[in-house]
Amino acid sequence: MAQYTRASGFVGLITLQNPPVNALSAVVRQAIVDTVKIALSDPKVKSVVICGQNGNFCGGADIKEFGGEMTGPPLIPMIHAIEAANKPMVAAIEGNALGGGLELALGCHYRIAHSKARLGLPEVTLGLLPAAGGSQRLPRLIGVPDALDLITTGRIVTAAEALRLGIVDQVTEHNTVDAAVKFALSVAGQPLDARRISTFPCPRPPDSDALFEEAMRKVRGSARGAMAPVACVQAVRAAATLPYERGMEREKELMATLFTSGQARALQYVFFAQRAVGRWSMPSGAGWDTSKPRPVNKAAVIGLGTMGRGITVALAQTGLSVVAIETQEKQLMEAKQAVTSMLERGAKRRGAAPALDRISYSRNIQAVADVDLVIEAVFEDMALKLEVFRQLSAFCKPGTLLCTNTSALDVDELARGTPNPELVVGMHFFAPAHVMKLLEVVYGKRSSPQAVATAMQLGKKMGKASVAVGNCRGFVGNRMLRLYVEQAFFLLEEGATPELVDGALEEFGFPMGVFRMSDLSGLDVGWRTRKAAGQAQPGEASGQSARIRNGSRYSPIGDLVCEQGRFGQKTGRGWYQYDKPGSRVARSDPWLHSFLEQYRARHGLVARSIDRQEVLERCLYALVNEGFRILEDGIAAGPEDIDVIYVFGYGWPGHRGGPMFYASTVGLPKVLERLEHYHQAHPDVPDLQPCGLLRRLVASGSPPVHRWREVIKKLHSQL
């Protein structure tokens, strides 16, 4: 709702009240309409201030309402009535003014912001556009190029930037409502015609056609099939080329298309999934609501390779003191240089000072003595990690949390090697660790809820989408990925090319297909793991046995490519060829195609024609099937956890909502039927056998994704 009071005798004060973010629900919109009417009809009131309760202006339209039938007064006429008012309307912006919240403020005649306020139109991240007039008013206020930037990216700006752009009229360090009331009194009675943004002509840059074409090219390149960024460009173009009323019609048309698209539903699901994973739980029942994190002010990072450097940067940028440890002098100095330049680049981007003095460097592991938490990021070798954990246990003060950044090793085995296994958790970052938004927090059998709570809270502070998962080989993300990559290899054996597989996956929305990605990250990484596991065997054995391991189908194609010294971009050759080592532009490689032909001939395989649909079904349904197994095993608590991991860590297109959400949109019976089909066609791939949980969900009528947890709970209670 919204409360109406009078301030300083002559100012009507409307306070939005809908905790926690004062979203514009139907009730709030009705209250705004009612209170504006009261203020405008009160002869004593000379001007009006709109603010939000609890230091937060407004988080925008109520996203929860998008799923149902819209009731209550619509936003657009409500904002028009504010703009048309004959008394000055002033927005007092504290905290967030986002989406419909900023659009409401743009309907006001003046905007006063607190210096810590954040403003933006993030609708595009929800698959929408600012359709309460924002796409038409913002370009009129700040010009087309800046409006295009903010609307197509959803970028949030600080009050200082908002002032520079001309979005707000004044920024205050003091009480914003007091400042707005004072300001409102000072402008009482002044003419308002020049303050109604919808009446402004839209400043049209001389080269506007080229500008819009470039903007369209840019969003099409990065949107990977997402409709909203494209519609945002179209809406701003309408602002620049049409009168306001017609621009509003275009905004409405574009919004209608987006609103009813599956993409908006998927992105809104991701928004709520991100919040849901914060309410984590462990199989014991302990969770976010019962476990208190320990304070972490100082942390240590052990091992300053690529991951360790990124983690150091991320921790320092979060405001922690960091001790960065590497035993070899040369590596330590190289790492120091690399970390310094990463921090400087980041600081330049943010217009802040680099956090260089938060980091101390040491070759001595005893420097961990006074830290609250350690993140070990040494080479993926169990013996080495066990030794590091043994030393940490000896040198750390009691209660220090010991975290491992392993992506593949057993967290329980590491914990068993320490006197306090309850203090051990996995913190699995993704490269580059200071950029990638995902963190898997891996709890072992003995990890204490407090240790998990501490790692989750630290992840949140670092701005990561942090997901608590159980301990198993590959945790959630890599465990699922193995099956996806494996299907891509099998498809090559059966007649596909890297170009076909990557083309299908990139058209689906991945930034890179399996093979392009493999070339980027280096083929030798997986090869080393497969050799260590005894899977990759040297030489070009032929016949059936060369493609079987432990009774299941295995493709040695990746191993054979590695044997040729083709490790991807870094060697200039991999699944594709590159102009030179380190170059990024992949070109088809005739060598690889003839290698595939010879390989098939040697193994008696006859290439068949494979279409993009089969590529998608084989790769994606194998991945989804493993997701169901992970839920069945209790490694992830719900589908949201898996989806957040895939969207934020593995390039799964957000507008498809994550693999488990995607499966629900395809229809679980169809996913089940296709898996049965492929399992029948490939009985030597047991992983294609549909998971019991998938069958159970189908048998229980394929409930929507938000109800899967109930089925999973029931399943676990019966075990």
Ligand X SMILES: CCCCCCC/C=C/C(=O)SCCNC(=O)CCNC(=O)[C@H](O)C(C)(C)COP(=O)(O)OP(=O)(O)OC[C@H]1O[C@@H](n2cnc3c(N)ncnc32)[C@H](O)[C@@H]1OP(=O)(O)O
Q: Specify the residue, 272 or 591, whose C-beta has the smaller distance to ligand X.
A: 272
The residues, ordered by sequence, that sit 6+ positions from 350 with a Cβ below 8 Å of its Cβ are none
Structure tokens at 310: 């990124």
Using DSSP bridges, classify how beta strands 424-429 and 438-443 pair: parallel, antiparallel or unpaired.
antiparallel
For residue 704, the minimal CB distance to ligand X (Å) is 18
- List residues bridging with 51 in a β-sheet: 15
Residue 158 sits at φ, ψ, to 5 deg, of -80, 170
For residue 250, the minimal CB distance to ligand X (Å) is 14
For residue 313, the minimal CB distance to ligand X (Å) is 23
What are the Cα distances from residue 363, in Å, to 336, 427, 510?
12, 23, 41
Q: Specify the residue, 570 or 706, whose C-beta has the smaller distance to ligand X.
A: 706
Q: Specify the residue, 200 or 259, whose C-beta has the smaller distance to ligand X.
A: 259
Q: Specify the residue, 60 or 421, whose C-beta has the smaller distance to ligand X.
A: 60
Residues near ligand X (CB under 6 A): 20-21, 23, 59-64, 75, 96, 98-100, 122-123, 126, 128, 130-132, 255, 259, 272, 275
In contact, 568 and 522? CB cutoff 8 Å = yes
The residues, ordered by sequence, that sit 6+ positions from 408 with a Cβ below 8 Å of its Cβ are 380, 473, 474, 478, 529
The residues, ordered by sequence, that sit 6+ positions from 280 with a Cβ below 8 Å of its Cβ are 287, 288, 441, 452, 456, 467, 468, 637
Residue 237 CB burial class (10 angstroms; 0-12, 13-18, ≥19):
buried
For residue 120, the minimal CB distance to ligand X (Å) is 8
What element of type H or E holds 619? helix 612-632
Nearest-CA neighbor of 162 among 136, 139, 142?
Answer: 142
Residue 252 sits at φ, ψ, to 5 deg, of -65, -45
For residue 63, the minimal CB distance to ligand X (Å) is 4
CA torsion, ordered 448, 449, 451, 454, to nearest 10 deg: -170
Residue 471 CB burial class (10 angstroms; 0-12, 13-18, ≥19):
buried
CA distance linking residue 402 with residue 393, whole number of Å: 8
Ordered alpha helix ranges (H), 363-497: 382-395, 411-416, 449-461, 477-494
For residue 99, the minimal CB distance to ligand X (Å) is 2
CA distance linking residue 269 with residue 630, whole number of Å: 20
Q: Specify the residue, 99 or 139, whose C-beta has the smaller distance to ligand X.
A: 99
CA distance linking residue 48 with residue 192, whole number of Å: 13
Closest residue to ligand X, Cβ-based?
99
Q: Specify the residue, 257 or 341, whose C-beta has the smaller distance to ligand X.
A: 257
Residue among 103, 251, 376, 640 flagged as catalytic: 103
Q: Specify the residue, 279 or 593, whose C-beta has the smaller distance to ligand X.
A: 279
Q: Specify the residue, 23 or 223, whose C-beta has the smaller distance to ligand X.
A: 23
For residue 582, the minimal CB distance to ligand X (Å) is 38
For residue 106, the minimal CB distance to ligand X (Å) is 12
Helix 100-107 to helix 134-142 angle (10° resolution) is 60
Q: Specify the residue, 200 or 271, whose C-beta has the smaller distance to ligand X.
A: 271
Q: Specify the residue, 99 or 449, whose C-beta has the smaller distance to ligand X.
A: 99
User: Left (φ > 0), alpha (ψ -120 to 50) or beta: where does 469 sit?
Assistant: beta
- List residues bridging with 90 in a β-sheet: 49, 110
In contact, 439 and 466? CB cutoff 8 Å = yes
Catalytic residue status for 103:
yes
Residue 568 sits at φ, ψ, to 5 deg, of 105, -150
Residue among 94, 123, 440, 632 flagged as catalytic: 123
Reduce the DSSP state of residue 328 to 3 states and report it: coil
Question: Mind telling me the catalytic residues?
Answer: 103, 123
